[in-house]
């Protein structure tokens, strides 16, 4: 989550206002070194205790992850607290599965009989807590326009949701191995797991910018897209039993998956964040000008975004998604109706534009890396780097869309409403690449059947 663009007055002013003086970082202090040593010890323990659960490539990935995580935690120290808390909770759950015996053993059926596993720390329980906390955080952020205390609660609940989701993913990783030696895998292989990953990544990047720019007014906007993913996750869970851990299909039994998918979803998460910041930009601009004629295209674009799950959720009209579309359209309309009071609480247009640019720049970098990794994976699995599979084609369309956005920004000075509308359209394109391709087009790529 490093700063990948040049400094700007908006960034510098926000940094000063937040009291965060780590823009110019010195050498790591003793706590950074201690955190690195804790990570290194954990990796060494995993290598010694679970050598048969990792091939040589996975061991190299684990070792390489240690300095990477330590570096990110130095850049943004709240990550240290998150990683330590989630790690301790996951180890506690693993210990409970082992019934206090050797931690490399365990009984998956204890998830239904042990209190802390059943209600808190099994993967499904933790992820359900994540969903509930994200919804509550969204409500608190919007209530924060009237009460600063509610906005603070929104931040706390968002951190709680990220902690619960991270814990759930770590425990799910272990649960897969408890089910059988050929079932355990890193939990980024199907639609259920990547939706959890998407929610965590999007929320984390938002929390980063919330602190950097010393504002909580964007929380309600960004958490709308996270809550939408939570609703889809819950629907997918209870209608398709998607939470069940299944063996990997042969094409996914590759170490490439472990680096390709996370990089891809950093792109998806930051693109989604940029789109919602773009929505906030347009709300503020229209709230200041009080123009009504320009609200129609913004409402229609918001309605299209609300309608996407209705189209992707099922080949038949679903009452769940019809209700979601109706409520979503009402929420968008309500936000636009109260754009005046909302606009007063939002950061300046310059800051909103700056966050949108930074999010897209970071997302584009990771999405580019993910696309290259995907091509290498395809060559390893299928003997060719590119086959114009529908998923590959739409990934290229997403890449070209944001490449054009950044080109226009850097070479032609793209700013303001046009950039914001483009970011929102980009979310429509990205959503189709992620879900629509699975729904309407057949191909080699799929995170899960809809």
> In this predicted model, what pLDDT tens digit does every residue of 211-248 receive, in sequence order?
999 899 999 999 999 998 999 899 888 887 888 888 88
CB 236 within 8 A of CB 191: yes
Dist CA 231 CA 220 (whole Å): 16
Which one is predicted more confidently, 366 or 184? 366
pLDDT for 185 equals: 85
pLDDT for 202 equals: 97
Which one is predicted more confidently, 318 or 335? 335
| Burial (CB count <10 Å: 0-12, 13-18, 19+), residue 59 | middle
Of the candidates 380, 358, 344, 397, the residue with the CA atom closest to the CA atom of residue 251: 380
pLDDT for 294 equals: 64
Q: What average pLDDT is seen over the chain?
A: 85
Residue 309 confidence (pLDDT) above 50: yes
Dist CA 288 CA 48 (whole Å): 61
Residue 42 confidence (pLDDT) above 80: yes
pLDDT for 19 equals: 42
Q: Lowest-pLDDT range, 20-24, 78-82, 398-402, 441-445?
A: 20-24
CB 158 within 8 A of CB 134: yes
pTM of the model: 0.89
pLDDT for 407 equals: 96
pLDDT for 307 equals: 59
DSSP letter, residue 3: -
Q: Lowest-pLDDT range, 216-220, 255-259, 290-294?
A: 290-294
| Burial (CB count <10 Å: 0-12, 13-18, 19+), residue 299 | middle
Residue 131 confidence (pLDDT) above 70: yes
Highest mean pLDDT among 25-34, 271-280, 293-302, 428-437: 271-280
List C-alpha distances in Å: 160 to 5, 68, 143, 150, 168.
30, 23, 18, 15, 12
pLDDT interval class at 28 (50, 70, 90): confident
pLDDT for 20 equals: 46
pLDDT for 2 equals: 41
Dist CA 102 CA 154 (whole Å): 39
- Give exposure, 218-251, as e/b (b: 16+ Cβ within 10 Å): bbbbbbbbbbbbbbbbbbbbeeeebbebeebeee
Highest mean pLDDT among 96-105, 134-143, 252-261: 134-143
Predicted confidence (pLDDT) per residue in 379-423, tens digit: 887 788 888 888 888 899 999 999 999 999 999 888 989 999 999
pLDDT for 194 equals: 92
List C-alpha distances in Å: 217 to 79, 154, 348, 438.
22, 10, 11, 35
Dist CA 233 CA 231 (whole Å): 5
The residues near 368 (Cβ < 8 Å, ≥ 6 apart) are: 399
Of the candidates 293, 271, 295, 270, the residue with the CA atom closest to the CA atom of residue 282: 295
Dist CA 33 CA 48 (whole Å): 22
Phi-psi region of 105 (alpha: psi -120 to 50; beta: other; left: phi over 0): beta
Residue 364 confidence (pLDDT) above 80: yes
End-to-end CA distance of the chain: 32
Highest mean pLDDT among 167-181, 242-256, 281-295: 167-181
Residue 287 confidence (pLDDT) above 90: no
| Burial (CB count <10 Å: 0-12, 13-18, 19+), residue 423 | buried
What tokens does 410 get?
Answer: 């850097």
């Amino acid at each position: 989550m490093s700063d990948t663009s040049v400094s700007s007055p908006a960034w510098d002013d926000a940094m000063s206002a937040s009291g965060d003086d780590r823009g110019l970082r010195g050498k790591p202090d003793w706590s950074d070194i201690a955190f690195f040593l804790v990570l290194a010890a954990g990796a060494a323990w995993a290598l010694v205790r679970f050598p048969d659960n990792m091939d040589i490539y996975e061991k190299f990935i684990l070792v390489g992850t240690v300095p990477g995580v330590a570096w990110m935690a130095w850049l943004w120290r709240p990550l240290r607290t998150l990683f330590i808390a989630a790690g301790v909770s996951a180890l506690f759950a693993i210990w409970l599965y082992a019934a206090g015996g050797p931690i490399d053993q365990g009984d998956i059926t204890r998830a239904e009989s042990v209190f802390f596993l059943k209600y808190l720390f099994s993967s499904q329980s933790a992820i359900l807590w994540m969903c509930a906390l994200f919804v509550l955080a969204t409500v608190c952020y919007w209530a924060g326009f009237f009460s600063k205390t509610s906005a603070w609660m929104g931040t706390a609940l968002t951190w709680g949701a990220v902690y619960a989701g991270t814990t759930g993913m770590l425990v799910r990783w272990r649960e897969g191995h408890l089910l059988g030696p050929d079932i355990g895998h890193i939990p980024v292989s199907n639609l259920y797991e990547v939706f959890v990953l998407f929610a965590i990544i999007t929320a984390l990047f938002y929390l980063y910018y919330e602190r950097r720019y010393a504002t909580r007014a964007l929380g309600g906007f960004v958490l709308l897209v996270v809550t939408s993913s939570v609703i889809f996750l819950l629907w997918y869970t209870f209608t398709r039993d998607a939470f069940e851990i299944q063996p990997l299909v042969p094409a996914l039994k590759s170490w490439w998956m472990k680096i390709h998918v996370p990089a891809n979803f950093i792109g998806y998460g930051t693109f989604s964040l940029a789109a919602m910041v773009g929505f906030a930009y347009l709300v503020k601009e229209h709230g200041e000008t009080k123009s009504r004629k320009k609200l129609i295209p913004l409402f229609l674009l918001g309605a299209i975004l609300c309608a996407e799950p209705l189209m992707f959720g099922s080949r038949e009209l679903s009452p769940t998604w019809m209700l979601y579309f109706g409520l979503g359209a009402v929420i968008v309309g309500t936000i636009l109706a109260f754009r005046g009071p909302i606009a007063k609480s939002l950061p300046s247009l310059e800051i909103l534009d700056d966050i949108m640019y930074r999010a897209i720049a970071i997302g584009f970098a990771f999405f580019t890396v993910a696309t290259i990794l995907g091509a290498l994976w395809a060559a390893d699995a299928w003997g060719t780097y590119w086959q114009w599979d529908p998923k590959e084609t739409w990934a290229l369309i997403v890449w070209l869309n944001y490449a054009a956005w950044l080109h226009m920004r850097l070479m032609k000075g793209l700013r303001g409403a046009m950039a914001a509308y483009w970011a929102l359209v980009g979310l429509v394109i990205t959503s189709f690449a992620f879900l629509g391709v699975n729904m309407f087009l057949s191909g080699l790529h799929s995170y899960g059947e809809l």
